[in-house]
Structure 1
Amino acid sequence: MTDSDSFSERHGLHGGDAEIVTREDAPEEVRAAVLMLGYAAGMGPGALRDIICEVLLKRPDPNNWSPGNIENEVHRLVDEAPWYQIYDIAERIHAKLMRDNSSGTKQADYARRLTQVFREHGIGWQMKEGRIIFRGSEAFSLATRDAVAIMREAGTPTAANEIREALRDISRRPAADVTGAIQHAMASLECVAREIDGSSDTLGQIIKRLTVPPPLDGALHRLWGFASEQGRHIQEGREPSFKEAELVVTVASAVSVYLLRHSARR
């Protein structure tokens, strides 16, 4: 019986999303899930050991040749691995499943079930298209989910590329590039604003000409000031926090989508 045939899958039952409490760690539940889901997809201990040793740059123990001993070695390696390499291993497992499974069902199931584990245990990551990427608040998810596609459809590919870079920076492991995320998010918004305004002015100059109602225009101007200070003119000892970067990416994405949709309606 496959997982899709299970009672919980048939009835759409699963644990609710826990509050995000973990980013820079891979707790026991995650380490176990990365392996167990690999086994569930049909991978054996030997194949998993090859992947894990490749990621960790460790030589497989030549004294372990039976499946049971190899499985013990696999568990030991995963238990001792740095947290960020656990997510590297998950990506390699997905890639292996994708190469070996032309139907696409096994890797899709792996990604879906692993992301569900992340959600149930408050892990701030998700697997999308075979990559472990940042998972933020519900507001962040809603704001960024369709932003790239909407920007491309609106004829602003540079803005789309900038927001993709922002998402890539905030997803970096073991430490997010918060300054880069802020810079790219605001660059994306500036590209959208310039396209709508038909000018090459800075966002700070364009804001007053945009169709953002007050007092939201004032809030947007303050966001621009904050991003200019923290993202472009950062001061020694005042690096922006992760939560501040998440907020800037969220707002920049949401405002960009709003401006493009409002412009299209006009």
Structure 2
Amino acid sequence: MLMTFSKRHNFSKTPPITIRTDAPNGLRYAVVQNAYDCGPSYSAIRSVVCRVLLDAPDPNSWTEIPNIRDEVLQHIRFCDWFKVYDVAEALLSYIETTQGYASAVQYSNSMNDFFIGAGIGWQFAPNEGIVYRGDETFDVATAEAAKALSVTGRKNAANEIEEAIRDISRRPDPDITGAVTHSMAAVECVAQDILGSKQTLGQMVGALNLPKPLDEAVSKLYGFASQHGRHVSEQSRPAPEDAELLVQISCAICTYLAKRASPN
């Protein structure tokens, strides 16, 4: 398939993320059309959609186009917003099983292109389904942390970062307190590994020999996480933007500590 004009000439822009708890009509159409472009028939797509939505197919729809196609679009047009993302994940799995890995990559890439172009704060991630998409600095920070922790063999900290991202990615409601708790737990794991200690992060900050005022910042972040993550109340529940910021900062601190402690 010939690349589009904009891709051939690298004309693109990245709109700000404005959509997280919605599935606009364009997305609902893209989920189906992009799947169809990867090989499955509308009948096959209907089977997947009906299974996810637990909605019976119309026995009077026989022809692929326009009847079954329009029925599929009807199903997905009126379902709950978060079910649209469930359908997209189910279609990716179906495409990989029936059409092969290359077609699955085509589907996930085309959907990610749409997410970015439409300002939607979600993305397909390898082996994880649809996960939270932050701005560029968020994505860079989380990717860099995953790499640094993997290279230095700090699996527990890497798992905590993964859990934090998984919590903030939950639909329809993100687990904000879980994201806060796991992100700071990742920093705590790295600190414990570096110092050979089982103390809490709050107790270890002084021993990490962090430059000022980074030591105070880490201590205050730990206090924030304790208050809003571990001892949450209706009055202290953080906003999703707060959790995103804390995950991003935690990733940056993990990366810094891991690289500083590495002999290479």
Q: Which TM-score applies when normalising by structure 1?
A: 0.94
User: Which of 183, 189, 192 is equivalent to 2:190?
Assistant: 192
Q: 1:7 to 1:26 in 2, by over 3 A?
A: closer
| CA distance in 2: counterparts of 1:246 and 1:193, whole angstroms | 21
The question of 1:41 aligning with 2:38 is answered yes
Match of 2:156 in 1: 158
Match of 1:86 in 2: 84
Encode CA deviations 1:193-221: one digit per residue, 9 max, x unaligned: 01111111111111122142111211111
The aligned runs of 1:1-266 (5 Å cut-off) are 2=1, 5-8=2-5, 11-67=8-64, 68-102=66-100, 104-129=101-126, 131-265=129-263
Q: Identity rate of aligned residues, in percent? A: 39
Residue aligned with 1:126, SS: strand
Structure 1 unaligned blocks of 5 or more = none
| CA distance in 2: counterparts of 1:18 and 1:230, whole angstroms | 31
Given that 2:18 and 2:119 are in contact with CA atoms closer than 8 Å, whether structure 1 keeps it comes out as: yes
Encode CA deviations 1:130-173: one digit per residue, 9 max, x unaligned: 61100012221111013234223312211111111111100000
| CA distance in 2: counterparts of 1:151 and 1:88, whole angstroms | 30
How far residue 262 of structure 1 moved from its aligned partner, in angstroms, is 0.6
Q: Could you tell which deviates more after superposition, 62-71 or 182-191?
A: 62-71
Amino acid across the alignment from 1:206: M
Residue aligned with 2:166, SS: helix
Q: 1:123 to 1:229 in 2, by over 3 A?
A: same
Q: 1:185 to 1:12 in 2, by over 3 A?
A: farther
Given that 1:148 and 1:161 are in contact with CA atoms closer than 8 Å, whether structure 2 keeps it comes out as: no
How far residue 10 of structure 1 moved from its aligned partner, in angstroms, is 6.0
| CA distance in 1: counterparts of 2:146 and 2:3, whole angstroms | 35
Q: Which TM-score applies when normalising by structure 2?
A: 0.95
Structure 2 unaligned blocks of 5 or more = none
How far residue 184 of structure 1 moved from its aligned partner, in angstroms, is 0.7
How far residue 92 of structure 1 moved from its aligned partner, in angstroms, is 1.0
